[in-house]
Structure 1
């Protein structure tokens, strides 16, 4: 597995990854999440152009050649992470792993890569918002060093993110903001 910046040609593939990664939510009765549209190409491009969109490549698919629409030495993305600085920390907007690549440490590797880039930018930690009762969400992030933030700990930027999520109906299921300090 190799982590690299996303290219414009990757962006439609990231949407495919997001659709596939949403499917397991059906088993929890969260069909609205499973059926939610992936981030628009314009939004993905905004993160990419800012240098805040990375993909994990599948080693077995490297060098797919000219017909892939990607650089000849680029493997097929199996996961991605997008985010941006928010109030002195790097906020992970989305990290998604295709189910075919699940349980191989791909998400953890992407998060570590984002942490390294955030540290290089002088940011103090990582933040994200997630579902509390989904096993591969909050419980997973706790295992890799994130902690839930209390309401008074939320920064203005995180409060705005949570308000936007609530407007989109995500609060139908319990959610939390989480933080991990830079190691």
Structure 2
């Protein structure tokens, strides 16, 4: 397994990872995520150009990706997805560690993200990787606004939470 910054030629292949990863939500309260449109290239291209998009690769095949950006005092993980056939093999952890290394080197105080608090492979996995669920009063303004936006946008939005991992 190799984790590296995404290259321009990787971008068209990221949608297939996102679609595959979404299938895991079928039959859950987040079933809608399986039918969500993948992230548009117009969002991935600037992230790739800024060095805020990583891919995990196995024998030349893309297995996962992580898309992040600065938010307040942290590097915010906008999305981390691993294709179904590669889940449970450490790709997500490796992508998060690559983002943590980048954030640390860039002087960020933490990694942050928003996720579902109920799905067994979301919040518990992030907690295992050192993230802590934040109460509303513990969030930075930008993170609070992001979570509030998601809670209004997504079905089953009451299940959303924000998490932080100090670096």
Band of TM-score, shorter chain: over 0.9
Normalising to structure 1: TM-score of the pair? 0.87
Q: Which residue of 1 aligns with 2:65?
A: 80
- Could you say what secondary structure the match of 1:165 adopts? helix
Aligned to 1:179: 164
The answer to which structure, 1 or 2, has the higher relative contact order (CA under 8 A, 6+ apart) is 2
TM-score, length-scaled by structure 2: 0.95
Determine the C-alpha separation between the residues in 2 that align with 1:85 and 1:170. 26
Offset, 1:100: 0.7
Secondary structure of the 1:130 match is strand
Instruction: Give the structure with higher Rg (CA).
Output: 1
Residue equivalent to 1:132? 117
Aligned residues: 167
TM superposition shift of 1:121: 0.3
Deviation per residue, 1:38-94 (Å, 9 max, x gap)? 1111001121111100000013xxxxxxxxxxxxxxx22110001011111110000
CA contact (8 A) 2:30 2:156 kept: no
Question: Which whole-Å CA distance do the structure 2 matches of 1:56 and 1:170 have between them?
Answer: 30
Structure 2 partner of 1:62: none
Q: Which residue of 1 aligns with 2:3?
A: 3
Structure 2 spans left out of the alignment, 5+ residues = none
Counterpart in the other structure of 2:24:
24
Describe the superposition over 1:92-112 as per-residue Cα deviations: whole angstroms up to 9, x where unpaired. Answer: 000000011111111001100
Displacement over 6 Å in runs of 4+: none
1:31-180 to structure 2, matched below 5 A, reads 31-59=31-59, 75-180=60-165
The question of whether the paired residues in 1 share the 8 Å contact of 2:150 and 2:157 is answered with no
In structure 1, stretches of 5+ residues that fail to align are 60-74
